[in-house]
């Protein structure tokens, strides 16, 4: 049986992200002119050399770039996942 991908059971981050995303969509639909102005502001900052604004703009249009790991020939990469659970006091 294949291992399911994605967040572990009980992870609330996806729900929080969906809540914010839904709220932003609702505001954007209700205020298209504000959305246009916000997009123009990000683009203007990117044009002025703001790398953070450029990254937001790029990531929104093209998606975040993949990260790669390069190792010398003959070496293996071993990925180790460690989960630490701490009890509430």
pLDDT at 5: 53
| 70-83 pLDDT tens trace | 778 878 777 777 77
The verdict on pTM exceeding 0.75 is no
DSSP one-letter string for the chain: -PPPPSSPTT--HHHHHHHHHHHHHHHHHH-HHHHHHHHHHHHHHHHTT-HHHHHHHHHHHH-PPPP-----TT---------------
| 2-61 pLDDT tens trace | 445 556 666 777 777 888 889 999 999 999 999 999 999 999 999 999 999 999 989 888
Give the domain ranges of the chain.
16-89
Contact 3, 17 (CB under 8 A): no
Nearest to 6 by CA among 84, 34, 31, 14: 14
pLDDT at 8: 66
- The pLDDT-based confidence of 63 (bands split at 50, 70, 90) is confident
- The pLDDT-based confidence of 1 (bands split at 50, 70, 90) is very low
């Amino acid at each position: 049986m294949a291992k399911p991908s994605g967040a572990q059971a009980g992870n609330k981050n996806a729900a929080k992200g969906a809540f914010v995303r839904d709220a932003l969509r609702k505001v954007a639909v209700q205020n298209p002119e504000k959305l246009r102005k916000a997009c123009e502001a990000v683009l203007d900052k990117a044009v002025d050399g703001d790398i953070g604004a450029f990254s937001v703009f790029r990531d929104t249009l093209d998606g975040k770039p993949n990260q790669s790991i390069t190792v010398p020939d003959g070496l293996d990469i071993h990925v180790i996942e460690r989960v630490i659970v701490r009890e509430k006091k």
